[in-house]
Amino acid sequence: MPAPASNKRIKAGTSTHALSWQLPPVGHPDRPKNVPDDHTKRWTVYVRSPEGDPDIRAWLNKVSFKIFNTYENPLRMVERPPFEVTETGWGGFSIDIRLHFQPISGEKAQYRQHFLQLEKYGNEKQQAEQERTGCVRIEMLEPIHFNEPTEALFDALTSEDQWDYLIPAGKGGSKKASLGPNGRLKRGLPNGEKSAQLPAKGADDVPFSADQEQALIDQINARIEIVDKDFEMEIKRKEEIEARLKALRAEMGHEAAQQAAQQASGDRSRRR
């Protein structure tokens, strides 16, 4: 049975991450055993909710990761949190990820793809931080939309107990453990913000926010404008060349233009 008409669309958040660390060189006492000599990095790819979001298990049942086919058992099915795969290697590649939803959803699995970035990237400041920490991190945040969710899924996605996993274990939990670096209660905890929506503002302890999302959208739109202008310039240049060719053909006459075209075609054939 579908959810009430006023709640036909529900959004859940998931973030796909990849982390990689430099391995000690061959022969170093800290280098893990049984790692091939040509492997220079240890990496982890995983699927999780942004920090402070509702429990991902309310809607996610299991995750399959299709890694490079040279690895033993390249199709990895992870049926309980943490939804992650850790391996070693020497080069990046694309990982196919399949999200399997809880049976109560009646939803088909959805595919995602994540490129495993092992080398440093970004501007000088970003690369310096990666060098300092020895860790390269790639993060992608994607919303999962459920249109016309079943009643069971709707109840699961709107239940208050989705945030229970954030409360520290022990008698009544620890208020200190519930505080973020800014001294405020963490998202999703009692008296804190309970929402699957992105926080409005970003901060050092807020990896994803609405203003960061808008900044990325603005950056993409700016790049699109540059590509559109370049495309318009190429179209204009093409039209100018065609106009010059037409004028040259008119000056040379029909037969001479045909001979020039045949000669140019023959030259191209010989170069092949």
Token output for 88: 């070693």
> pTM, whole model, 2 decimals?
0.69
Pairing of strands 9-22, 94-101: unpaired
CA distance 51 to 162: 13
Give the torsion sign (CA, 105, 111, 112, 115). positive
Helix (H), strand (E) at residue 99: strand 94-101
Q: How many percent of the chain have pLDDT more than 90?
A: 37
Residues 22 and 41 sit within 8 Å (Cβ to Cβ):
yes
* In the chain, where the domains are located: 5-203, 216-271
pLDDT at 29 over 70: yes
Residues 62 and 97 sit within 8 Å (Cβ to Cβ):
no
169 falls in which pLDDT band (50, 70, 90)? low
Would you state the pLDDT for residue 1? 38
CA distance 169 to 172: 8
Residues 1 and 151 sit within 8 Å (Cβ to Cβ):
yes
Half-sphere exposure of residue 76, counting CA atoms within 13 Å on the CB side? Answer: 20
Helix (H, G, I), strand (E, B) or coil at 19: strand
Would you state the pLDDT for residue 195? 73
Would you state the pLDDT for residue 128? 93
Which residue from 72, 65, 63, 80 is spatially nearest to 116, judged by alpha carbons?
Answer: 65
98 falls in which pLDDT band (50, 70, 90)? very high
State the average pLDDT for the chain. 82
Would you state the pLDDT for residue 171? 53
Lowest mean pLDDT among 59-73, 74-88, 211-225: 211-225
Would you state the pLDDT for residue 165? 82
Would you state the pLDDT for residue 5? 42
Q: pLDDT digit string (tens) for 178-224?
A: 666 666 667 777 667 777 777 777 766 666 777 877 888 888 899 99
13 falls in which pLDDT band (50, 70, 90)? low
Domain 5-203 has CATH 2.60.40.10: no
CA distance 66 to 94: 9
DSSP string, 32-90: PTT--TT--EEEEEEEEPPTTSPPGGGTEEEEEEE--TTSSS-EEEE-SSSEEEEEEES
Would you state the pLDDT for residue 271? 54
- What is the DSSP code (8-state) at residue 206? B
pLDDT at 226 over 90: yes
pLDDT at 2 over 50: no
Q: 97-118: b or e for each residue (b if 16 or more CB lie within 10 Å)?
A: bebbbbebbebeeeebebebbb
